[in-house]
Amino acid sequence: MHEFRVQVGPAAFRIGSQWKRPLDQLAELYRDYPVPQIPDYSVRLESVSLLRRFIRPSVAINGDYMLPDAAPLPLEQGLLAAEMAMNLQMALGWRRHVLLHASAVEKDGKALIMTGQSGSGKSTLAALLGHRGWRFMGDEFVLVDLESGDAVPFPRLISLKNEAIGAMLATALDGRFGPLMPSTPKGDIRHLVPPSDAIAHMARPARPALLLFPSFGFDAAVREVGPSEVFMRLTQASTNYVALGEKGFSTLTRFVQTVPARAIDYRDGIEAEALVNQLWAECA
């Protein structure tokens, strides 16, 4: 079994694989990240059967935390399998922070957090802003500290889907991209290494200052979102709120009482960036 280790924010991963290629791809993309001594989570990319290790190789996603019905992926999507497995460990296992399914960027020590359904554009927006003067903190998970309420970065590889790939190829001209994986279960996927400041400062938290619920594909609009609606949406966006008990409750209630929230509609990245800058100036 081949092995690769990587530290992303506060979480340390060990990824084992029966094939070398996905780990070589990971090692190349994560080459600027710290290598941890003791992993929090182990992930294994294994063949579904002995035969399928060699013939039309098929990668089953295994690890400390597993979904029993997770479909295996072809070896060409081994990198995606590893990323999905790492996400799964966080979503099911992380207990040190309130974990929000959200993206975040930072400016002046303050965090802009964006959450919403898949396809809302939160990931693309974070990637875009991360290349336009903001520090990228993460495009998948935001970790909220149980004591301070600060947002802790989790800047894993940026996972670009479909149209976002072209948009970021045009924006991140000096960016390092992973291989294009067409027609995955999530559509076309291509990973992008976060900007170097995101990796260098991945241990530096930021105070949440603005929460946005973006919706892509509508005419530009802004709507204020009240604390109780924010609370309901954030509990839905958190995989570990219930498990954290009273700590989770006090952390999230403080969050919704102190962080202004807006829903924004937008048609493209330029419109979104203008809205973000306007709201940031007003609220943060």
Residue 148 CB, shortest distance to other proteins, in Å, is 19
CB atoms within 10 A of CB 162: 14
Task: Pick out residues in 119-158 that bind other proteins (CB under 8 A).
Answer: none
Q: Is residue 242 a contact point for other proteins (CB under 8 A)?
A: yes
Residue 245 CB, shortest distance to other proteins, in Å, is 5
Integer Cα distance of 66 and 107 in angstroms:
36
Q: N- to C-terminal Cα distance for the chain?
A: 48
Q: Interface with other proteins by CB under 8 A: which range of 117-125, 155-163, 209-217, 240-248? A: 240-248
Integer Cα distance of 204 and 151 in angstroms:
9
Residue 242 CB, shortest distance to other proteins, in Å, is 7
**Looking up tokens 């937008």, which residue turns up?**
266
Residue 31 or 95: the one with the smaller Cβ distance to other proteins is 95
Say if residue 252 is exposed, middle or buried (CB neighbours under 10 Å; 0-12, 13-18, 19+). Answer: buried
Are the C-beta atoms of 8 and 155 separated by less than 8 Å?
A: yes
Are the C-beta atoms of 156 and 83 separated by less than 8 Å?
A: yes
Q: Which residue in 38, 50, 147, 245 binds other proteins (CB under 8 A)?
A: 245
Q: Which residue in 249, 260, 273, 284 binds other proteins (CB under 8 A)?
A: 249
Q: Which residue in 18, 42, 184, 250 binds other proteins (CB under 8 A)?
A: 250
Integer Cα distance of 100 and 157 in angstroms:
17
In one-letter notation, the amino acid at residue 74 is P
Residue 163 or 224: the one with the smaller Cβ distance to other proteins is 224
Residue 238 CB, shortest distance to other proteins, in Å, is 11
- Would you tell me which residues interact with other proteins (CB under 8 A)? 226-228, 231-232, 235, 242, 245-246, 249-250, 253, 256-257
